[in-house]
Amino acid sequence: MAERMLKFINLPQQTPKKRAAEDRRQDFNEIYDSFEPAAAADQASRCSQCGIPFCSVNCPLSNNIPDWLKLTAEGRLEEAYELSSATNTFPEICGRICPQDRLCEGNCVIEKGFESVTIGAVERYITDTAFANNWVKPVAPVSERSESVGIVGSGPAGLAAAERLRSLGYQVTVYDRHDRVGGLLIYGIPSFKLEKEIVLRRWKWLEEGGVKFVLKADIGGTVPFSELREMHDAVLIATGVYKAREIGGPGAGLPGIVKALDFLITSNRKSLGDAVPDYHSGLLNAAGKDVVVIGGGDTAMDCVRTAIRQDAKSVTCLYRRDRQNMPGSLREVKNAEEEGVNFAWLCAPESFLGDDTVTGVRAVRMHLGLPDASGRQSVEAIDGSAFTVKADLVIKALGYDPEELPTAFNEPELTLTGWGTLKVNPHSFETSLPGVFAAGDIVRGASLVVWAIRDGRDAAAAIHRQFQAARQAQAAE
Are 229 and 158 in the same domain?
yes
Residue 338: give its domain's CATH number.
3.50.50.60
Q: Which of 399, 431, 464 is the last residue of a domain?
A: 399
- Give the whole-angstrom CA distance, residue 208 versus residue 188: 25
Region 88-111: mean pLDDT is: 93
Q: What pLDDT score does 412 carry?
A: 85
| Domain match, 216 and 303 both | no
Domain count, the chain: 3
Residues sharing a CB contact under 8 Å with residue 407, sequence separation 6 or more, in sequence order: none
Report pLDDT for 409: 81
Q: How far is CA 285 from the centre of its chain?
A: 23
CA distance linking residue 45 with residue 59, whole number of Å = 20
What's the pLDDT at 475?
Answer: 87
CATH code for the domain of 31: 1.10.1060.10
Nearest to 183 by CA among 103, 100, 93, 98: 93
The mean pLDDT value of the chain amounts to 94
Strand partners, 259: 396
Same domain, 290 and 408: no
Residue 386 lies in a domain: yes
Residues 253 and 237 in one domain: no
Model confidence pLDDT, tens digit, residues 240-262: 888 888 898 999 999 999 999 99
Please determine, for residue 79, whether its predicted confidence score (pLDDT) is greater than 50: yes
- List residues bridging with 354 in a β-sheet: 358
Please say which residue of 101, 132, 163 terminates a domain. 132
Which residues constitute the domain of residue 121? Answer: 7-132
Helix (H) or strand (E) holding 77: helix 77-87
According to the model, what pLDDT value does residue 326 have? 87
Q: Which of 33, 60, 65 is nearest to 48 (CA)?
A: 65
Angle, helices 260-271 vs 298-309, to 10°: value is: 50
Q: How far apart are the first and last CA of the chain?
A: 55
Could you write out the DSSP letters of every residue in 419-434? TSSBP--TTT-B-SST
Is residue 269 domain-shared with residue 227, that is, in the same domain?
no
- The answer to whether 368 touches 322, Cβ cutoff 8 Å, is yes
* pLDDT band at 280; cut points 50, 70, 90: confident
CA distance 351 to 296: 18
pLDDT score, position 242: 84
> In terms of domains, do 375 and 464 share one?
no
Residue 278 lies in a domain: yes
Which run of H or E residues covers position 379?
strand 377-381
Residues 118 and 15 in one domain: yes
With respect to residue 138, please indicate whether it lies within any of the assigned structural domains. Answer: no
Report the C-alpha gap between 50 and 42 in whole angstroms: 17
CA separation for the pair 185, 97 (Å, rounded): 10
Q: Is 1 a domain residue?
A: no
**Is pLDDT at 407 greater than 70 in this prediction?**
no
Instruction: Determine, yes or no, domain membership for 142.
Output: no
Residues 251 and 382 in one domain: yes
Largest interatomic CA distance in the chain: 77
Indicate if 113 and 127 belong to the same structural domain. Answer: yes
Same domain, 302 and 360: yes
Asked, for residue 137, whether it belongs to a domain, the answer is: no
Query: pLDDT confidence of 98, banded at 50, 70, 90?
Result: very high
Spatial contact of 303 and 190, defined as CB atoms under 8 Å apart: no
DSSP strand pairing (358-371 vs 387-390): antiparallel
Q: What is the pLDDT of residues 81-95, one digit of tens each?
A: 999 999 999 999 999
- Rounded Cα distance between 319 and 446, Å, is 19
Q: Within this chain, do residues 264 and 388 fall inside the same structural domain, yes or no? A: yes
Choose the final residue of a domain: 132, 158, 176: 132
Same domain, 422 and 466: yes
Q: What is the mean pLDDT of residues 113-141?
A: 95
Residue 143: inside a domain, yes or no? no
